[in-house]
Each structure stands twice: as C-alpha cells, then as structure tokens.
Amino acid sequence: MQLKSLHDVELKGKKVIARFDFNVPLSKTEPREITDTSRIDMAIPTIRLMLEKGVAKITMISHLGRPDGKVDPKYSLEPVAEYLAKKLGMDVILSESAIDNGVKNLLQLPETKLVLLENIRFLPGEEKNDMDLADKLATYGDVYINDAFGAAHRKHSSTFGINNYFKGRAYPGLLMKKEIDSLGALLEKPAKPFVAVIGGAKVSDKIKTIEKMLVLVDTLLIGGAMAYPFLKAKGITVGTSLCSDEDVSLAKQLLQADKGGKIQLPKDHITSLEFGGAPIPCAGQNIPSDQMGLDIGPITIKAYGDHLKTAKTIFWNGPMGLFENKNFAKGTMSIAEIIAGTNSFSVVGGGDSVAAVQQSGMAEKFSHVSSGGGASLEFIEKGELPGVQALKFGVY
Ligand code: 3PG
Ligand code: MG
C-alpha cells in the first residue's frame, strides 16, 4: 500500500497535530545550541506546505534525547522553538508541557498558528505507548500528520498509538514519504549493479543490515573499525585495532554465508601507534602488532572507487575510519566524493555517515540522505516500521 502524498490532502481550515523528529544534537555546555540543524531543516517543507494549504493551526510534537519520562531542562525543546521561529519567520509558541491545560487555551487562540509541545518524552506514558496520552494528543487536531521518520521504529504514543484516533485522517509528511520511497527503492528491484558500503564500529551493531545487504547487493565494501574483525577472521593480522572476539566470530559466519564472494575488505590502511596519534601509512593488508588501523588506505580507496563507479544503485552506512580526526578522514571523505560523482541512485543512511556527508559538503549530490539512524537500518532489515504501518493501516 502506497502512502498518500501530503500534496493531495485537503487541509484548509484544519487543526493539524503533527509529529516531527526534532531530536537534534545540542552543544554540551550552556548556552545550549543546536550543532546540526539538518533534521529540522528537512521538516521545514512539510510545515510550509501545510501553511500554504491554509491550515488553521499546527501543533507539533517531538522528542529530544532520552529524558526517561521525567522533566529535565537539559532536554527542553526551547532551542528548537527558537530555530523554527527564525527559519519560518513566524512566532512559535512552546507549551510548558505536552498535556497541560495551557495547551487547550493555546488551541483556542486564532492568532497562534504554530504551537510546539514541550518534549513528549518528559511524560512517562510516551515510550509505553500509553493510550490515554495518545487519546489526549489526538484531541489537539482534526488530522494527524507524521513526518518523524527518524522515530518511526518506535512504538510510542505519539508515533504509534495516536493513529488509532485518526482512521482515514492520518497522513505522512513530505519527509516521511521521501524516506519510505527512497529506502523502499533499495529493497524493490534496485538497478544493478547494486553496491553497498558499510562501515562504523561494530559488526554486532549491524549484523542484520549486513545479512540483508548480502541478499540485495552485488558487492559489499566493508570499511571502518568493522573491517578488522573480518580481516582477523581470515587470518590477517590486525595489531591493536578495535576487534572483539564476538565480532570476529560474527564476521566468520558472514564470510561463510557469502557464497558469491560479495564481501570486499580493505587492502591497505592508515594506522597509528595509539588512538588518534600520528598517522602511519600501512601499504599491506597485515597490520603490525604495535599499530591500530584507523582509516582505509589509498589502494583500498582506489579499489572501492572502481566498484562504486560501475554501480547503478549505492547504499552507504557508516564511516570508513576515524573521520572526526582529519588525519583519518581521507577514506570517508573520498568515498563521499566518489559516490557524489556517480550517476547512480545513491542513498546514505545512519547517523555518522550522514554527518560525514554533511561535513563533505556534498549532501545535495546524493539521491537521498536519510534523516533516520536506527530507523533507516531497521527499515532496510524489515521493509517496514511500526510507525509507518500504523499510518497505513491504523493500530488494532
Ligand atoms: C534517533 O535519533 O535515533 C531518533 O530521534 C529516535 O531516538 P531514540 O533512538 O532515542 O528513540
Ligand atoms: Mg536512535
């Protein structure tokens, strides 16, 4: 079942209750500032479209961080309200709580168009999918719009239960629809060759994604710390690189399952004597016993680049090295540049690789940069998410 486009939904004069994923990173120290506004920026077209369609009011729900059902000023949505107001050039009223009586009053005032409810995870019911909370939230709108793709893998009151009260009146936002359409295209008849690049820290974190990719792709390029357990499983020395026994045994299983020889591993490295220390080029696959691998080397970049240049579909998740440190960023940045230069259908998903693409300044050259971390990987594994299912079929 296809999700309806928000463009085709009649919203004139309607009160909308809308879920967004404004879970943005904030600076650790006061004043708390948003360090990456991408997730809010990606939701702006949905808000603008609703306004153009003549809605009476938009009441916005989001979480921020994991305050565990308790009020914690550190996780207030105040910086988000300020940023939204600046970006939209309109007043955004932040409610004191998502369910206080003040909200009802705000909803009666015709002059307030945009209300942002304070962090929904300040309430203990949210993560328990409490139906009383969902019921209460549902009274704020005639129509429910869910644009929170990044939280669609959560079965919470504002992402899941609330759908129960909007049968035939629940719709995806523009971002939600683009996410599902783009990630869905990877799963349904992707143009071949399909090449995936998987990096990041641990095999155990991404085992299900890797298993799924082995079914979908022609070639699977592995980089980042994730590569070392695979190399070790093949009897190659990895020195002092990050490499747990559990990951080595998972890598061994994956290599055995890879009958088609799809998995490609780094052929050379950039190492160091210590984490984040001076970089040392390591031209061979074996890493000396006193060194740890922290990036892929130039021979690997070239080899991976040759695979990527022939691809018609590319999925990328996870950095190729310690890219936050410029001495170990070349592998990740080169992969970003190579993918950006192809004519393929290219999708990047998952927190760190998205940050790397933003850092490379080439985000707009990708077909789709996912706003989801866990959500994008879970969608790829399962082909569905609870929040999306509920939007399509309701909650029963
Ligand atoms: C995310 O950042 O992954 C989403 O906003 C969901 O947050 P959560 O992982 O805390 O549920
Ligand atoms: Mg998460």
Q: What is the pLDDT of residues 49-94, one digit of tens each?
A: 999 999 999 999 999 999 999 999 999 999 999 999 999 999 999 9
pTM above 0.85, yes or no: yes
Q: How far is the CA of 314 from the centre of ligand 2 (A)?
A: 23
What is residue 111's predicted lDDT score, i.e. its pLDDT? 84
Rounded to the nearest angstrom, the gap between the alpha carbon of residue 172 and the centroid of all alpha carbons in its chain is 17
Q: How far is the CA of 286 from the centre of ligand 2 (A)?
A: 35
Task: Write out the residues surrounding ion ligand 2, Cβ under 5 A.
Answer: 373-374
Report yes or no: 173 and 147 within 8 Å, Cβ to Cβ. Answer: yes
What is residue 393's predicted lDDT score, i.e. its pLDDT? 84
pLDDT in tens, 188-220: 999 999 999 999 888 888 999 999 999 999 999
Closest listed ligand to the CA of 66: 1
> Quick check: 145 pLDDT over 80?
yes
Region 146-169: mean pLDDT is: 97
- The response to whether residue 21 sits with its C-beta less than 6 Å from ligand 1 reads yes
Report yes or no: 175 and 148 within 8 Å, Cβ to Cβ. Answer: no
> Quick check: 113 pLDDT over 80?
yes
Q: How far is the CA of 151 from the centre of ligand 1 (A)?
A: 6
Angle at the Cα of 164 (from 162 to 168), degrees rounded to 5? 110
Half-sphere CA count of 94, side-chain side, radius 13 A? 15
Neighbours of 30 (CB within 10 A): 7
Region 5-15: mean pLDDT is: 96
Rounded to the nearest angstrom, the gap between the alpha carbon of residue 109 and the centroid of all alpha carbons in its chain is 36
Q: How far is the CA of 24 from the centre of ligand 2 (A)?
A: 11
- The response to whether residue 68 sits with its C-beta less than 6 Å from ligand 1 reads no
Kindly indicate the confidence band of residue 356, based on its pLDDT and cuts at 50, 70 and 90.
confident
Report yes or no: 322 and 226 within 8 Å, Cβ to Cβ. Answer: no
CB-based burial label for 61 (10 Å; 0-12, 13-18, 19+): buried
What is residue 309's predicted lDDT score, i.e. its pLDDT? 97
> Quick check: 307 pLDDT over 80?
yes
- The response to whether residue 156 sits with its C-beta less than 6 Å from ligand 1 reads no
* Atom 6 of ligand 1, residue of closest alpha carbon: 151
- The response to whether residue 387 sits with its C-beta less than 6 Å from ligand 1 reads no
- AA letter at 353: S
What is residue 340's predicted lDDT score, i.e. its pLDDT? 96
Residue matched to tokens 């989801």: 372
- The response to whether residue 23 sits with its C-beta less than 6 Å from ligand 1 reads yes
In Å, how far are 130, 201, 213, 256, 355 from 207, measured between CA atoms? 32, 12, 10, 14, 22
> Quick check: 1 pLDDT over 80?
no
Across the chain, the runs of DSSP E, i.e. the strands, are: 15-19, 57-61, 93-94, 114-116, 143-146, 170-172, 194-198, 219-222, 263-264, 269-272, 280-282, 292-296, 313-317, 345-348, 368-369
Kindly indicate the confidence band of residue 139, based on its pLDDT and cuts at 50, 70 and 90.
very high
Pairing of strands 269-272, 292-296: antiparallel
Atom of ligand 1 nearest to the CA of 21: 5
Q: What percent of the chain clears pLDDT 70, i.e. is strictly above it? A: 99
DSSP string covering 76-116, please?
Answer: -SHHHHHHHHHHHTS--EEPSSTTSHHHHHHHH-TT--EEE
- The response to whether residue 151 sits with its C-beta less than 6 Å from ligand 1 reads yes
> Quick check: 396 pLDDT over 60?
no
Q: Which residue out of 77, 146, 154 has the highest number of ligand 1 atoms within 8 Å of its CB and is therefore the one to mutate? A: 154
In Å, how far are 71, 108, 120, 236 from 96, measured between CA atoms? 10, 16, 11, 57
- The response to whether residue 349 sits with its C-beta less than 6 Å from ligand 1 reads no
Report yes or no: 371 and 175 within 8 Å, Cβ to Cβ. Answer: yes
What is residue 24's predicted lDDT score, i.e. its pLDDT? 93
Q: How far is the CA of 265 from the centre of ligand 1 (A)?
A: 30
Atom of ligand 1 nearest to the CA of 375: 3
Half-sphere CA count of 217, side-chain side, radius 13 A? 28
- The response to whether residue 65 sits with its C-beta less than 6 Å from ligand 1 reads no
> Quick check: 252 pLDDT over 90?
yes
Pull the structure tokens for residue 318.
């996870």
Q: How far is the CA of 288 from the centre of ligand 2 (A)?
A: 36
* Residues acting as catalytic residues: 39, 202, 351, 374
Atom of ligand 1 nearest to the CA of 39: 5
Output the average pLDDT for the chain: 94
What is residue 75's predicted lDDT score, i.e. its pLDDT? 96
- The response to whether residue 150 sits with its C-beta less than 6 Å from ligand 1 reads yes
- AA letter at 29: T
- Cα–Cα distance, 223 to 255 (Å, whole number): 15
* C-alpha closest to that of 381 among 252, 258, 211, 243: 211
Report yes or no: 303 and 267 within 8 Å, Cβ to Cβ. Answer: yes
Pull the structure tokens for residue 297.
């080397």
